[in-house]
């Protein structure tokens, strides 16, 4: 996954068992990063810490991201 833009902020990472997502990462500045299996990485702004943790622990990570993150939070593709 791409380096976090603010090295002073701790980035929490979790490899996930998903057919669509490789890794989810988040910080305490309400940023969530999603690395998809095809290599794309998106940063979602304004995602509460608890929601990012829930996404990383979901039984279906890809479905959670598609349903609860993508339509609600602005995203920037970072790779």
Which tens digit of pLDDT belongs to each residue from 34-57? Answer: 999 999 999 999 999 999 999 999
Mean pLDDT of the chain, nearest integer = 91
74 pLDDT above the threshold of 80: yes
Residue 79, pLDDT score? 86
Alpha carbon of 69 to those of 7, 8, 44, 52: distances in Å? 24, 25, 8, 9
Alpha-carbon span 60 to 74, nearest angstrom: 21
| C-alpha closest to that of 7 among 24, 32, 27 | 27
């Amino acid at each position: 996954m791409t380096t976090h833009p603010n090295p002073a902020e701790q980035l929490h990472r979790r490899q996930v068992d998903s057919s669509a997502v490789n890794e989810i990462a988040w910080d305490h500045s309400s940023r969530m990063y999603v690395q998809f299996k095809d290599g794309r990485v998106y940063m979602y702004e304004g995602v509460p810490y608890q929601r990012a943790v829930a996404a990383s622990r979901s039984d279906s990570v890809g479905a959670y991201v598609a349903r609860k993150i993508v339509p609600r939070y602005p995203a920037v593709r970072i790779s």
